[in-house]
Amino acid sequence: MKLFPSVIEAPLPEQALLNEFVERGEYTDCFVTRVDRVATFPAFVESFYTTRLFKLERLILKWLISRPSSDEEARQLARDEIHVFAAWHEHSRSDDQLIMMDFRQQTCSWFMLVGDERASHLYFGSAVMRDVDESSGKKMKWTYRALLGFHRLYSRALLHAAARQLSR
């Protein structure tokens, strides 16, 4: 049985800001789900960062690397009022997309919302920066390779939780 069947892996849309990392040869992924309501992009970003699941990650970041964050800061980020949140800073933004880069500039998270008058499609993806190995090209660090299966499952869980919260 597949966990989170409403969240599917999809190719990156042509207009995705995350394509910048594809062009650079970095690892990227893309997940999408649908909510049967019209949503705004700020509401999507806020719902993502304020789910119970993500609050656990925020707590871990606070304890492990002294990068606290609050629901109010998540709202401010979503409304484009601040550009740093917990362990991330804004890399790029448009009206319906956002890329947040981690403070070590090794990973980033991407959000995009595509909607019509009946529903909204929520996209979430990541990029992982690879190291350049002169003899064999770009390689993902072994720690990221080892955690890739968990990362993909966790990404689906985060998007599922954001969609559920946004649907309420």
Q: How many domains does the chain have?
A: 1
Nearest CA-CA partner of 35 in 123, 95, 111, 109: 123
pLDDT at 132: 75
Does 1 map to a domain? no
Say whether pLDDT at 37 is over 60: yes
Strand partners, 29: 126
104-142: pLDDT as tens digits: 999 999 999 999 999 999 999 999 998 877 677 778 888
Would you give the DSSP letter of residue 3?
S
Does 86 map to a domain? yes
Lowest mean pLDDT: which of 9-13, 121-125, 141-145, 156-160?
141-145
Does 127 map to a domain? yes
Cα-flanking dihedrals φ and ψ of residue 14, to 5°? Answer: -55, -35
38-72: pLDDT as tens digits: 999 999 999 999 999 999 999 999 999 999 999 99
pLDDT at 1: 52
Does 2 map to a domain? no
Does 43 map to a domain? yes
CATH of the domain at 32: 3.30.530
Instruction: Specify whether the CB–CB gap between 72 and 45 falls below 8 A.
Output: no
Does 125 map to a domain? yes
17-33: pLDDT as tens digits: 999 999 999 999 999 99
Domain that holds residue 119: 8-167
